[in-house]
Structure 1
């Protein structure tokens, strides 16, 4: 499921991308409001909100009578900072690549302790669904997938996935309570994924992960 995002946040992401790519360079004046409105297909208030946010963060500077200028490059970002300005499709594509590899490795390297952790988190996820606790369900879902990453036996891959999970947590928080049905609809797939990892079947685990991702669960 795609996240709900404010129009001004979309404009902020696009302006940051243009600065990071060099399309807008430090010291340059950005296009005037009417041009930005046409380019992003949004209203004046949305453009002003985006510019205000970027100015507060020190990326842009508004000079009365002269216009708005880029005053800071976007470079040498940490991975977490880069992920925060990525859009959902970018995140989901990399998430898919990571998760397919993680479940295969976890199927080979999981320990009994790993399995116990996964099973407990699945139970927490199920209980949260039954109680209609969307936030608790999201937390249990993320923790379940992190536990699989830790079971992969690859610390770098596990750390990388945890960085992605922090971004996915933000996406989940933007869903309203009614969207708990997306968690409910995929509970059986997550339970099947656990069983595949338990019986050390990497091919089945990968296919189940593909099914989960295909439905944006």
Structure 2
């Protein structure tokens, strides 16, 4: 299933990419509302919400009577800021690279405490599904994957993944409430993943991670 984002976020990501690539330079005026509406195929309210957000962040500057201008470059943004403007395909590609290495290392280094944490988060995930609590389910899902990262034995990789998880949390928050079904359909895959790590079976663990990612779970 494809993750959807707010229309204003679509505009924000597009404008940020144009600034980062140099298509829009500092001091230049961005296109007028009608042109932006046609470019991003969104309504006026989405354009105005996006511009307001970018103006608050200092990236754009609105000058009454003159238009909206690029106020700052994006090349010096932090990793966290860069991740926030990444699209779903980029996020899923990086997530695939990270998680394949994480589960491989977790199969080698996990300890009894790591296993207990994984099982606890899986139980929370299942309870949230049964209670139709989408937000709690998303939190439990992310906590489960973070617990696997922590069991990898690589603290840098674990910290990187935990930082990266904030972006995934944002994507989850933009999903429709009915997507609790997505979590329900993948519960058995997550339980099997935990079992593969317990059994120290990296081949099976990696296969399960790829299945989870291929289905956008």
**TM-score, normalized by the shorter chain, greater than 0.5:** yes
What's the CA shift for 1:72?
A: 1.0
What's the CA shift for 1:46?
A: 2.8
Partner secondary structure for residue 17 of structure 1: helix
Structure 2 match to 1:43? 43
Structure 2 match to 1:207? 207
Partner secondary structure for residue 26 of structure 2: coil
Partner secondary structure for residue 62 of structure 1: strand
Instruction: Show CA shifts across 1:54-83 (max 9, x none).
Output: 223221122233322111111322211111
Q: Kindly tell me: are residues 64 and 96 of structure 1, through their superposed partners in 2, closer, same or farther at Cα, counting changes over 3 Å?
A: same
Matches within 5 A, 1:18-167: 18-167=18-167
The separation in 2 between residues aligned to 1:163 and 1:51, in whole angstroms, is 26
Partner secondary structure for residue 90 of structure 1: helix
* Structure 1: unaligned runs, 5 residues or longer: none
Partner secondary structure for residue 122 of structure 2: helix
Structure 2 match to 1:185? 185
What's the CA shift for 1:33?
A: 2.7
Q: CA RMSD in A?
A: 1.5
Structure 1 match to 2:15? 15
> How many positions carry a matched residue from both structures?
217
Q: Kindly tell me: are residues 132 and 47 of structure 1, through their superposed partners in 2, closer, same or farther at Cα, counting changes over 3 Å?
A: closer
What's the CA shift for 1:138?
A: 1.3
The separation in 1 between residues aligned to 2:45 and 2:173, in whole angstroms, is 25
Partner secondary structure for residue 68 of structure 1: strand
The separation in 2 between residues aligned to 1:38 and 1:176, in whole angstroms, is 26
What's the CA shift for 1:180?
A: 1.1
Q: Kindly tell me: are residues 10 and 191 of structure 1, through their superposed partners in 2, closer, same or farther at Cα, counting changes over 3 Å?
A: same
